[in-house]
Chains A and B, each alone.
Chain A
């Protein structure tokens, strides 16, 4: 049937794109380092899934990408080009840090309040461009990008100013009380409960889009704004709510970083995020904006990031080269439409439409 064929073409093209890019990467490492292709492939695999350590490291990266990616998917589904996940992630980290340092409560309650604060902070930060869009027709692509810089500089201001713990060697806040630490879920690793939160959010996202009226309104607005208005969707309200949820999810990613990994907020020279908010856009797009797709893409990107760190250690290569691969994959995925068009033209697949 037509739909299944379309789906197959779509999946096949994804697999082909990703494999081709990784293959190209391996070849270019081979040329650059003189190592054999087999050895590089082996290292890549080892770096990704070779040991408990690399697997958990991969999933640590996955956690941030997943939460921020779900946020991006939420907004994109609504036709809102929220490029501000990075800023919203930083605001979430600020919200989490504020509650972590200024409130004391027993562990589960403290953690719950931190999660809520991070969600609210990231959400509010994203709702601002939403309001601008509704009231002033400001293009959300521009406003969300610009607010990324503001958010990062707010972090800088806080850690250099009011929140600076001068007893520390680096410019950062005090360490959080342990009640504000996300529990480690694999002993001896850095993998924290943020991953579980991410999976829970993925399930929730799936439920929202599959079963709820809000998800329906968001999808309709994204698919055809005129039809949504015609169907009685309150367009301004839906835009603001969607931006809020989108930013809230990215905020949770920031919370995961400060409460799960760092346990403090730190100067950007260290940085809590190497651009997870931007990779998240890639993960969401690669995942076709679906919850499960985003989860799979976040795992793939997690592997690549983890493998990058490993290759750097083993071959003395720059980790950036694998970030380059992620960039290539994104580019290829975005250009996939053309590729699918080519596939459809193959005689075997043409069939009767």
Chain B
């Protein structure tokens, strides 16, 4: 491709974060009037690359050309000036403002718009593009997700943006709305816009895109014309070709500890996200649940641990029904939970390591009726966790938030494993950690599995394959166990909605 043609050309883009290379010399180009899909697993570097294009992140290396002109994007404002617009996964809208207000807010970038004319401009543009009319005076929070997305699109059209980035736009939509959105993306391309479509759903990519670029672990695996490729080829590019061997053989099953029957759970937005999941985990085994993020993992895990209400179906621990029981009851039943991102759920960063060590046990201390904490025990317990897990800290009195990411996660793992729980629910335990810490945490999980039933939900396929005795896949809220002797590609297909 000759320099100077096309809407966007990104050349040799690299972006390093403290513990991971998110983008490693990536080349990406976007032609005028095409839909270009960016495909890859979680953590492949798709969003990082697009955040660089939108000026949210600065690349460590590499050059960006917009319509052949070399640009330096320091902020989204620069990107907007270059005609780039982005629809983020979480909408950037103000819920208490009307549709017109939200659009007007964006237009402050273009002085020629007058506030009073915003409604007319927007309505005219939507008519021109054949978009369904929307009530300009409705407040944003009254609108369903797909209409909010429509407002986001209209915002960019009103700004006159030619280059449109959609970051997993279908993840907030349900059913028929997905098809409608994909048609709209085609229409936008036909009207001369250049569209980047970030996704990890193969069907959508195959339906909508002209070309597809596959990323894997921060690198470009390949860039293909969509009509010249197929599902099989793309899956292989996404997940690799090697045939996995479960490191641990199928073992003789112990007693059933965690059992989930026909479980249905809804998300915060009221969308059904876990749909009729049924599985069981036995003592002494690790059941891995693979899946691309956003397929119902959060809701599944929170329903089992009592943090989220179950819509229907049952959760049983040791044969006892704990459906919709309080988190405390489930803790008391001996269920440990290692949540992802310890700072968000697993810990209170501003409190001391001692206090955080006791988080899951404070209600169990000596007796449930005692008023006082046993401070000596708490300190000894924290010291024990620190030494057994080599947590690097000068003192157990420090706020936990001062620990590094790896040490924080070790603290959470230590706390949950040390309780000698009979069941452990683990969710993405090693995301963003360094290799040494990952190996250490994996070792501890395997040790813990000797006496407990472990449900390991992870978006990292390698992690699952190296730890699990059995593997199931969650896709679109449905949990399916992988058949005997599956290949990595088969798993990849199941994870992306293929028949597997």
Contact = CB atoms under 8 A, between A and B. Distances in A.
B348 A224 contact: yes
B362 A231 contact: yes
A112 interface: no
Contact of A230 (B345, B350, B375, B397): B345
B326 A234 contact: yes
B233 interface: no
Interface string B207-246: 0000000000000000000000000000000000000000
A3 B360 contact: no
B365 A213 contact: yes
Given A224-B348, A226-B344, A229-B327, A217 B362 contact: yes
Q: Which of A211, A223, A234 has its CB near the most chain B CB atoms (within 10 A)?
A: A223
Given A220-B355, A231-B359, A232-B326, A226 B349 contact: no
Contacts of A211: 372-373, 375
Nearest to A1: B394
Chain B interface, DSSP helix/strand/loop, else mixed:
loop
Contacts of B395: 1, 3
B49 to A, nearest CB: 30
Chain A interface, DSSP helix/strand/loop, else mixed:
helix
Contacts of A216: 355, 358, 362, 373
A228 B371 CA distance: 18
B307 A230 contact: yes
Nearest to A214: B371
Interface in A218-258: 219-220, 223-224, 226-234
A2 interface: yes
Q: How large is the interface on A (under 10, 10 to 19, 20 to 34, 35 or more residues)?
A: 20 to 34
A223 B348 CA distance: 6
A213 B363 contact: yes
Contacts of B362: 213, 216-217, 220, 231-232
A230 B337 contact: yes
A55 B479 CA distance: 72
B373 A212 contact: yes
B270 to A, nearest CB: 15
Nearest to A208: B371
Contacts of A223: 348-351
Q: Which of B326, B339, B348, B394 has its CB near the most chain A CB atoms (within 10 A)?
A: B348
Contacts of B371: 212-214
Q: Which of A1, A216, A234 has its CB near the most chain B CB atoms (within 10 A)?
A: A216
B355 A219 contact: yes
Contact of B346 (A3, A213, A230, A233): A230
Interface of B: 305, 307, 326-328, 331-332, 337, 339, 344-351, 355, 358-360, 362-363, 365, 370-373, 375, 394-395, 397-398, 402
6 contacts: A213-B362, A216-B355, A217-B362, A219-B348, A228-B348, A232-B360
